[in-house]
Amino acid sequence: MQVTTAAPRTYWLEHAWLGTLPQAIGSARAGGTPIEPGVALEVADGRITAVRAGTPAPPPGAEVLRGLTLPGLANAHSHAFHRALRGTAQVGSGTFWTWREAMYATAARLTPDRYHALARAVYAEMALAGITAVGEFHYVHHAPGGAPYADPNAMGEALIAAAAEAGIRITLLDTAYLSSGFGQPPTTHQLRFSDGNAEAWAARSALLKERDHARIGAAIHSVRAVPADQLETVARWAEERRAPLHVHLSEQTAENEACQEVHGCTPTQLLALHGVLGPRTTGVHNTHLTAEDISLIGGSGTGTCMCPTTERDLADGIGPAVALQNEGSPLSLGSDSHAVIDLLEEARAMELNERLRTRTRGHWTAAALLRAASADGHAALGWEEAGALEPGALADFTTIALDSVRTAGPLPRLGAETAVFAASAADVSHTVVAGRHVVRDGVHSLVPDVPRALADAVEALRG
């Protein structure tokens, strides 16, 4: 199954954020992020072939996109099955660790068919939110009890197929999850996550094949879930393939404390010691870091994926995103547990969290936040040719309505600020992937009734 590439066509964008294209530079007015009115995009073979700013009216035969068009958004961190916990996980109190027990119970009920149905609906919800690529941090590999399926990658293949049927791109971050904590054997719930050891994980992962819409990366679940002497195996697998490598890092203080007790260092220092950090690596959360950790991450070019809506939902804390970026760590964004699926909210939350923490405003411009949600997110997932409206880029883009109850009023030249600080996923009117309309006027073209698909898939997983 592939993301279908559309025939050559022209899209006319009423307003567009062109990022760093030369014709956009110098067009900022009154401190706003540069927005170009009247832009014609020519598309062929799934890529943008020409960008013509200063096109005041739609060319003959062009598809008209009213509102503000941005590069497609990249959801750099997803656990698709967590979507089944929305609502139920918000009942009562508790901690990350009590939430984890509810997550395990849901994971235990997954089958390849159930996972396919749920992921297809979740990825369709992402398309409705303007997301054109997802990084799926995938660790539910085997049947309950740990026995492999006849196809050892049946669960991963279900996710790849689901993305194609929902019309978006996917980087399947096949995850090594081998231990319940610093060398302890997997618990009963975790048996289906584990391949036994990193060599067996690598052999199974090597069977996965890339497709037009799908790339294969690697992940280390966490330093507690992969023994230190096996970290290098996973890092080497990714290095040999020049593939993305992601890792949950210092999400919880308890993990830091346990790592110090066992290894005498922080999780970041342990990853550095075993060759995990580097420009193709992304640390997810990076919440509870020391100054040395921040220097190690930034100095190595390791990325940081912030997931603010999940981090606040689970009471994880606010990570040092400003310090990490200042040290050289590119920022990306993810919806993680899918308490909500809204990359505009993730971008907004990263800035607003920092405002609450520091009691000052303006840590990132709207342009910087949009870049984290688009170009840098795609780069973290190995889709460097996506995330920009420029010739040669993948023809993946999304349009935000500027006339909704949330977005009406500001001048169009402030469209980027309006999108980041006022709009929501509900304001996405169009999503185009490989030059093909996946969402048109707020309606998904491949999954006719996304709410019903979600409800049915979640119902199938209720205990």
The catalytic residue positions are 285, 336
Over the range 117-155, which residues count as b (16 or more CB within 10 Å of their CB) and which as e? Answer: bbbbbbbbbbbbbbbbbbbbbbbbbbbeebeeeeebbbb
What is the residue type of 275? G
Instruction: With CA atoms as reference, report the closest residue to 40 among 22, 24, 63.
Output: 63
Q: What is the DSSP letter of 254?
A: H
Angle subtended by helix axes 112-128 and 154-166, to nearest 10:
30
Q: Which residue has the tokens 């190690």?
A: 296
- The helix/strand/coil state of 23 is coil
Question: What distance in Å separates the CA atoms of residue 78 and residue 134, rounded to the nearest whole number?
Answer: 7
Dihedral over Cα of 286, 291, 292, 297: its sign: positive
Question: What distance in Å separates the CA atoms of residue 46 and residue 277, rounded to the nearest whole number?
Answer: 33
Question: What distance in Å separates the CA atoms of residue 267 and residue 260, rounded to the nearest whole number?
Answer: 8
**CB-CB neighbours of 363 under 10 Å:** 18
- The helix/strand/coil state of 124 is helix
Question: What distance in Å separates the CA atoms of residue 256 and residue 240, rounded to the nearest whole number?
Answer: 29
Question: What distance in Å separates the CA atoms of residue 98 and residue 104, rounded to the nearest whole number?
Answer: 10
Read off the tokens for 134.
């997802």
Question: What distance in Å separates the CA atoms of residue 361 and residue 77, rounded to the nearest whole number?
Answer: 26
Question: What distance in Å separates the CA atoms of residue 166 and residue 447, rounded to the nearest whole number?
Answer: 7
Q: What is the DSSP letter of 89?
A: G
Q: Are the CB atoms for 167 and 121 separated by under 8 Å? A: no
Q: What is the DSSP letter of 336?
A: B
Q: Are the CB atoms for 190 and 177 separated by under 8 Å? A: yes
How big is the CA angle at 393 (ends 389 and 396), to the nearest 5 degrees?
65
Q: Which helix (H) or strand (E) holds 170?
A: strand 169-176
Q: Are the CB atoms for 439 and 448 separated by under 8 Å? A: no
Please provide the size of the chain in residues: 463
How big is the CA angle at 116 (ends 308 and 121), to the nearest 5 degrees?
55
